[in-house]
Structure 1
Amino acid sequence: MGGDADSGASGPAKGGGPSFTVAAAGDILIHPPLIEQARKDAKAEGQQGLDFYRLMAGVQPVISRADLAICHFEPVVGKPNGPFRSFPDFLVPPQITTAVKKIGYDTCSTASNHTLDHGRAGVKRTLDALDEAGLKHTGSARSKAEADKPLIMDVKGVKVAQLSYAFGFNGREVPTATPWVVNQNDFARIKEAEKGARAAGAEVVILSIHWGREHHPEPSSGQIKLARRIARETGINLVIGHHAHVVQPMEKVNGTWIAYGMGNQVARHEVPSGLTEEGIIGWFEFRKRGGSWDVQARYVPTLVSIPPTETDAAKTVPADAVQDHRLIDVAAALRDDKKLTPEERARYRLAFERTQGTMLNRGAAQDGLKPLESLPG
């Protein structure tokens, strides 16, 4: 897996019980400028087609280090040569899945408001592409049998289940003939799915959930209410939220970490807001103490750099302006990249500090939440 999850190299941790790490990030949403970037990067390597690896490679050191790395794959996959579509009915290159695997992801949640953009055929094409890339997945399904089987992974000898649910599907109803095609948010269904995973042998259950209000850094009252029920009335060990496309805080409720919104892992909205380019990778250290799991939460601020647009070209653009879309581990870039311009350095520090403020604004500092790597001086 992202680390050595399937190697069986578990063994007791310092605390005496089994332990493992989880990295989880926000929305992967491929807009047209990112497709053009992948085409440019492939050409630079002397290749035809699309290569998304260089776009995402900046987070590979973190993602690949985790024992289990979880992505949220939001859009529907199209055919390798297109046609491709953007908002509101996404159809993205399947080549993105190989880059997601290459940087170290093991599994992806696939329940989102875009899951049904292209019906059952789109669901099948997306899951087929994830399979071909070697990525596990949950949240949508090609058959009832697939939907009914919990996704349980062996992570350093621990059976870890992943669930995936979404609030709705942009006005599309889940077909009554195939209610299993995608999971829709409902507390009773989520609770039942956790029970099913436990019955199938899961020792740890992680919920990926698509919820909240787009572009709002604060969780909605609906998110908070559902999070509290999940934390108090189920045994789910960790909740990973996405959909807002901006970072939302984490908090610990009744001993369970809730990450309300991870922001975007990689996206390029038509009108970038600054916040939509910022995201986090959540880093969670699970350690069994006695009969229960203790989870320590950390986060890694990320940023998608954006080159000047055609509109900007009419203005005076600095010669050292950003040339490419790149996903950046902010702290690592500030630590290691000595060639940053003053403007880049200032932008990265802003991303880190703004993300930190958001992460901690529901009192998570008192429960030990901090960045995986501090902001360099």
Structure 2
Amino acid sequence: MKNSASTVTLRTAALTVLLATALTGCGLLGDSGDSADGAKAGGGSGRSFTVAAAGDVLIHPELTTQAEQDAKAAGKKGMDFGAIMAGVKPVISKADLAICHMEPVLGKPEGPFQTFPDFLAPPQITTTLKDIGYDTCSTASNHALDHGEGGVGSTLAALDKAGLKHTGSARNQQEGTKPLILDVKGVKVAQLSFAGGFNGRQVPADKPWLVNKTSLDAISAAEKAARAAGAEVVILSIHWGTEHQPAPNGLQLSLARKIAEKTGINLVIGHHAHVVQPMEKVGDTWIAYGLGNQLARHAVPSGLSEEGVIGWFEFAEKNGTWDVQPRYVPTFVELPPDAEQTDTGVKPLEAGQVKDHRLLDLATALKDGRDLSEQRRARYRLAYDRTQGTLLNRGGGKDGLKPLAGLPD
């Protein structure tokens, strides 16, 4: 995306003309009449919808191995991430709009795959994301250019094949300048996606549409283009912050305030830190600074990097404006212990130890976990309490931030 004032202006003008003449060409907007559930699609009051948004999807080698083992156990070939992510399907699938963040480049189904620093992940993950209920993914991340233009193309092709919408990177100018607008219960909802940098790589000067780079001017122009294309609600996915730091940094705080004050964006959802960061209301805009990891297995897990959150946002139209009520669902990625070698071979796992990588909704896991060991129950409660404490530590509770489901007594 272009960042200078002149090029942003030109891009916005071009978008307005293009979308005014071919608004329905995006293929994402519903009919102009009533939606299937009877909601008023013509701007009437009383409309509402829910959004679920989760943290980074970052496939490390241990997760690929787990997906291969799970596929084999189910009598399938290749890999299957379904068992790993099944724990969050009940939450994700019930949202009217579910948004994921695709951090790495996706390669070929048969590989080869790569890990840090230049990720190349199995595209099979997209099938699972679609199956558990995701509708769209942001793709602007610091790893978006790990494999150049070809990597952008292979990532978007994998998302397309799975039936997932996407925004933040593009294969050509037309794709890069067309706002992503989805019909959500008769409401036209736009998703934007931006990243602050690309690990030292530069967006090619002759292909500024390849991936969206953050600036207030660029974000503002993208929102205006989405509004011109008919968007009634605009959600921004943004890749920012300091990795592994639970507190938002000064740039995040400053930019969040500018976005809230100078744009009409309705909701900001953040990624990149790999740990949970707070949510707070700035003016009338909710900012989720960092949703942590949805699914990852870092080479050196920090304890915090296994913890994440699904943001749950309830949008309701009131007197021509959109009220947003935030909720949260703490999540946790269970990690099996590293294999321990002894003189006689690999030491078997002890009773009660975790055997597989699994993504959990913590409240549900604690509610249903009658057979949990005391150690695992304590770890789940720690993760839930720590995530909750982090989310609330900028005063979000006084503005209505609360869990979607509390812990059992």
What TM-score results when the alignment is normalised by the length of structure 2?
0.89
Q: 1:40-88 deviations in whole A, cap 9, x for unaligned?
A: 0000001111001111110000000000000000100111111000000
**Letter in structure 1 aligned against 2:217:** A
Counterpart contact for 2:100–2:137, Cα < 8 Å:
yes
Q: CA deviation at 1:10?
A: 4.4
Match of 2:178 among 124, 146, 149: 149
**SS of 1:296 mapped into structure 2:** strand
Q: CA deviation at 1:376?
A: 1.1
Identity of aligned pairs, percent? 68
Is residue 2:300 matched to residue 1:268?
A: no
Q: Identify the residue that residue 359 of structure 1 maps to in structure 2.
A: 391
Q: In 2, Cα distance between the equivalents of 1:324 and 1:267?
A: 13
Is residue 2:365 matched to residue 1:333?
A: yes
Q: In 2, Cα distance between the equivalents of 1:21 and 1:147?
A: 27
Counterpart contact for 1:197–1:205, Cα < 8 Å:
yes
Q: CA deviation at 1:338?
A: 1.6
Give structure 1 regions of 4+ aligned residues with deviation exceeding 4 angstroms. 311-317
Q: In 1, Cα distance between the equivalents of 2:330 and 2:290?
A: 13
Q: Identify the residue that residue 405 of structure 2 maps to in structure 1.
A: 373
**Letter in structure 2 aligned against 1:43:** K
**SS of 1:114 mapped into structure 2:** coil
Q: CA deviation at 1:181?
A: 0.2
**SS of 2:91 mapped into structure 1:** helix
Is residue 2:225 matched to residue 1:193?
A: no
CA shift in 2, pair 1:202/1:225, >3 Å: same
**Letter in structure 1 aligned against 2:39:** G
**SS of 1:304 mapped into structure 2:** strand
Q: Identify the residue that residue 241 of structure 2 maps to in structure 1.
A: 212
Q: In the TM superposition, what are the counterparts of 1:106-255 in structure 2 within 5 Å?
A: 106-255=135-284
Is residue 2:316 matched to residue 1:287?
A: yes
Match of 1:8 among 11, 36, 41: 36
Q: Identify the residue that residue 116 of structure 2 maps to in structure 1.
A: 87
Q: CA deviation at 1:319?
A: 2.1
Q: In 1, Cα distance between the equivalents of 2:96 and 2:368?
A: 24
Q: 1:208-239 deviations in whole A, cap 9, x for unaligned?
A: 00000000000000000000000011000000
Q: How many residues align?
A: 371
**Letter in structure 2 aligned against 1:226:** L
Q: Which runs of 5+ in 1 are unaligned?
A: none
For the pair shown, which has the larger CA radius of gyration, 1 or 2? Answer: 2
Q: CA deviation at 1:320?
A: 1.8
Counterpart contact for 1:10–1:18, Cα < 8 Å:
no
CA shift in 2, pair 1:311/1:168, >3 Å: farther
Counterpart contact for 1:159–1:201, Cα < 8 Å:
yes
**SS of 2:329 mapped into structure 1:** strand
Q: In 1, Cα distance between the equivalents of 2:263 and 2:176?
A: 21
Q: In 1, Cα distance between the equivalents of 2:381 and 2:366?
A: 8
Counterpart contact for 2:45–2:320, Cα < 8 Å:
no
**Letter in structure 1 aligned against 2:37:** A
Q: Identify the residue that residue 5 of structure 2 maps to in structure 1.
A: none
**Letter in structure 1 aligned against 2:251:** G
Counterpart contact for 2:272–2:292, Cα < 8 Å:
yes
Counterpart contact for 2:85–2:358, Cα < 8 Å:
yes
Q: CA deviation at 1:270?
A: 0.2
Match of 1:323 among 339, 342, 355: 355
What TM-score results when the alignment is normalised by the length of structure 1?
0.96
**Letter in structure 2 aligned against 1:358:** T
Q: In the TM superposition, what are the counterparts of 1:41-80 in structure 2 within 5 Å?
A: 41-80=70-109
Counterpart contact for 2:334–2:357, Cα < 8 Å:
yes
Counterpart contact for 1:25–1:282, Cα < 8 Å:
yes
CA shift in 2, pair 1:207/1:319, >3 Å: same
Q: CA deviation at 1:316?
A: 8.4
Q: In 1, Cα distance between the equivalents of 2:96 and 2:36?
A: 11
CA shift in 2, pair 1:120/1:10, >3 Å: farther
Q: CA deviation at 1:310?
A: 2.2
Q: Which runs of 5+ in 2 are unaligned?
A: 1-29
**Letter in structure 1 aligned against 2:376:** E
Counterpart contact for 1:304–1:325, Cα < 8 Å:
yes
CA RMSD of aligned residues (A): 1.5
**Letter in structure 2 aligned against 1:342:** E
**Letter in structure 1 aligned against 2:190:** A
**SS of 1:261 mapped into structure 2:** coil
**SS of 1:299 mapped into structure 2:** strand
Counterpart contact for 2:45–2:319, Cα < 8 Å:
no
Q: CA deviation at 1:8?
A: 2.5
Q: In 1, Cα distance between the equivalents of 2:50 and 2:379?
A: 29
**Letter in structure 2 aligned against 1:305:** E
**Letter in structure 1 aligned against 2:61:** P
Counterpart contact for 1:77–1:91, Cα < 8 Å:
yes
Is residue 2:51 matched to residue 1:22?
A: yes
